[in-house]
Amino acid sequence: MHLAYSLRPYGHHALAASQSDIEETATSFEALTRQAAQAEEAGFDLVVIDDVATGPSDAELSNDLAAFEPTTLIAALATKVEQIGFIGSASTMDHAPYNLARRFASLDNSSGGRVGWNVVAASVDQERDVEYVGLVKSLWDSWEEDAFIYDKKAARFFVPEKMHVLNHEGANFSVRGPLNVNRSPQGRPIISAVLSPGSVDIAARFADVVFVRETSVASAHAVANEFSERLGHYGRGRNDVRIFQSVIAYLGNTTEAARAYHYSLNQGSVGDTPAEAVVGTASEVADRISSLMDGLTFDGVEFLQPVVPEKDFLLFDFAAALRDRLGPANVTQGTLREFLGLKRPDFPATQQEEIR
Amino acid sequence: MNRDGKMRLGAFLMAGGHHISAWRHPDAVAQAGVDIRHFIELAQTAERGLFDMVFVEDAAAIREKNPEMASQAARSTAFEPLSLLSAIAVNTSHVGLVATASTTYNDPYVLARTFSSIDLLSNGRAGWNLVTSASELEAANFGGSGLRPHAERYERAEEFADAALALWASAAGGHDTASSVSIHGKHFDVDGFLQSRRSPQGRPLMVQAGASDTGKNLAARTADVVFAASQTLDQARQYYLDVKGRLSKFGREADALKIMPGISPIIGSTEAEAQAKYRELQELIPDAVGVALLASYLNAADLSSYPIDGPLPEMERNEGMQSRQQLIVDHGLRENLSIRDLSRHFAGARGHWQVVGTPSQVADAMEERFLAGGADGFNVMPPLFPSGLEDFVTQVVPELQKRGLFRASYEGDTLKGNLGIL
């Protein structure tokens, strides 16, 4: 059973910034580090950082948004919070494929293999995005596992035969390669996607991890099942992926406190939330989630805080209760791939065309 | 020279060291290129030495096409600069963080936003070394349509720089009223605000190294710092006067732009010890690697078919790095060097000024260039890391301080504040 923590300065509720007891320094690097460190201590496998400010906007940055770009934030956080994994969003329309492959491969090396790319497939042309993600993945296979030998005596830094030139010529991109970053410590960085009817196909081709952020249980199951079935089209199996159900949980020390917390934000209505909402004590919420997921196709829970508190004691209880209902963590240290119990990808020597 | 009479210092970071065969040295940690702690510690050493900044170079491709040749050197892979600086930013507190990024294969909004993010992570210590990409290996990773002519690369760079500066000015915060950007040029369309906040130094520092006429004009118009490569004092002064002389055209004062040529210091407790260190490194260069590196700096396809003990062949001018190429050819002619000697010479310091000697001899050489109007400071390129930087910080920095040529403590908290650029 896997636990993901979605990181936002004040929380995921639309009123989070005005309701939070933390000061405006919530958007600072120190405050975000504190959140990530609490998630690590509570036993979460990974932190998810969405991108909320990708392009020029016609309004100034709103006060409740972090000003940090996700990949630079992850590079910094990984030096301070040293066990947990980090998945960051980047759009297929923002970076050339070579630059994006390079940024994430580099992050994976600097973090010791704890990083994933959450694909934001932003092109109107799905064929282009499919080519893009496939290209990034192939660039990550530029170097074999044991390419670097550092033989000082023989003046041999790497084995030339273990460097692979891609020579990709596609409908949208032409990229020679190889990537000028070492092979990732976890083989390849993790690829993730937020599942929606539009993203099911590209996710089934490439994603190691998917997040289901549907607001109703029925639609969540529908899209997760469709994704699971589609895997077979691409020669992949259910055990090659990890599916996370996203949950916005209103936690309280008592049932009454949790209900009051929910009421203060939503005035009794369900509210406009980005995921399935549950209310109660850590134990009640864990029971509710476990019955939602009973017999179904999920491997983990992505937790969205409605409002981030200054010191999050309930996070520990919540993670412990979920582990109790749904099963323990895979391992407690290693690469993100190891946390998730995913197989290390073999070097696809047969897929590589060597032209020099 | 700067108004305060003190020189500025940058530390040019590289995994094993600037010497092409540094990684083979017995003291070198061969895996340094994938060790983030190595880079963080180098930056912390520079900060102990009160350096203004650390600096990293960039290329969006491997640097040597021939795999056999490339495999004998450590330059084919490296950390990506912007994420590397982000990791360093939150583990240092005063030293500036300057990364190279190309205007040829990036988007102005995305790049401005990313540097802004580093500027905020570091509380106002980020800088962007603006370059245009000239290598064919890079071009092949971005569409493969071939190399853009020099003039067109710079036209795009000018427009890119203006867009980035306008976007940084549009970020929220500070005393200025933010105003939305509207740029519709030949290369870019940008409308709206930068989705970021204003950093404590206002915007990231602008750095350049262009040495062509177009490059020098762009620097005079937009740069706060210029890195340069010059071998002799005469070359350094000529370059200095040339670039500073262009500032008034753009309504800027001479002190508004700092010129910091590279220096490769090899430090020993005696001159003989320093010379021995230099020879030890030079002997680690395989001939083929030296010659291939020389060919790549000259943007020449191949030099291996010419006799290694003979002179350089006549070179045709091409669309690559024009100024660096001329510098190398001139040096070969002036010193009457064979291909082997020239390749070894440049493999050592890569076209930059090399000084081999005791700490006080190194300080003498820097003092002379600084006082004679050849530099406002220096970008220090130790041949071997970490020892070369450690030696500089513990031996040369105190010597410069004793002479009143370098600060005794940081003046401010931001990069621009320490450089004295407002």
Q: What pLDDT does residue B147 have?
A: 63
CB spacing of A177 vs B117 below 8 angstroms: no
Residues in A touching B101 (Cβ below 8 Å): none
Torsion of CA B386, B389, B394, B396, to 10 degrees: 160
Interface of B with A in 4-23 (CB under 8 A): 21, 23
What does the alpha-carbon distance between residue A134 and residue A351 come to, in Å, rounded to a whole number?
A: 12
Dihedral sign from CA coordinates of A131, A137, A140, A142:
negative
Dist. CA A108–CA A335, nearest whole Å: 9
CATH topology of domain A2-127+182-352: TIM Barrel (3.20.20)
What residues contact A229, with CB distance under 8 A and at least 6 apart? Answer: none
The whole-model pTM stands at 0.94
Chain B, window 86-145: residues with a beta carbon less than 8 angstroms from a chain A beta carbon: 86-87, 89-91, 105-107, 109-110, 113-114, 116-118, 120-121, 137, 140-144
Residue B297 backbone phi and psi in degrees, to 5: -65, -30
The string of DSSP letters for A326-341 reads H---S-SSS-HHHHTT
**Test the B interface: residue of A102, A114, A168, A179 with most B CBs within 10 Å:** A102
Nearest to B118 among A65, A72, A356 (CB): A72
Spatial CB neighbours of B297, under 8 Å, sequence gap ≥ 6: B321, B324, B325, B328, B346, B350, B351
Which CB contacts under 8 angstroms, 24+ apart, belong to A267-275?
A: A271/A13, A271/A14, A272/A14, A273/A12, A273/A13, A273/A215, A273/A248, A273/A304, A273/A306, A274/A12, A274/A213, A274/A215, A274/A246, A274/A248, A274/A304, A275/A12, A275/A213, A275/A214, A275/A215, A275/A246, A275/A247, A275/A248, A275/A302, A275/A304
Q: Is the complex ipTM higher than 0.85?
A: yes
Per-residue pLDDT of chain B (422 residues; tens, 9 = 90+): 788 999 999 999 999 999 989 999 999 998 999 999 999 999 999 999 999 999 999 999 999 888 998 999 899 999 999 999 999 999 999 999 999 999 999 999 999 999 999 999 999 999 999 999 888 899 999 985 556 778 888 999 999 999 999 999 988 764 455 678 898 999 999 998 898 888 999 999 999 997 789 999 999 999 999 998 888 999 999 999 999 999 999 999 999 999 999 999 999 999 999 999 999 999 999 888 888 888 877 877 678 888 888 988 877 666 555 667 777 888 888 888 999 888 888 877 777 899 999 999 999 999 999 999 999 999 999 999 999 999 999 999 999 999 999 999 999 999 999 999 97
Contacts of B76 in chain A (CB under 8 A): 157-158, 163, 180
A chain contacts of residue B140, beta-carbon cutoff 8 Å: 174-176
Q: How far apart are CA A6 and CA A332, in angstroms?
A: 19
The pair of structure tokens assigned to A204 is: 């089934």
Structure confidence by residue, pLDDT tens digits, A70-111: 999 999 999 999 999 999 999 999 999 999 999 999 999 999
- In the numeric block, which tokens belong to residue B186? 């030949």
Give the confidence band of A274 by pLDDT, cuts at 50, 70, 90: low
Q: Please check whether residue A356 touches B, CB under 8 A.
A: yes
> Tokens 């749904």 identify what position?
A326
Q: CB–CB of A177 and B87 under 8 A?
A: no
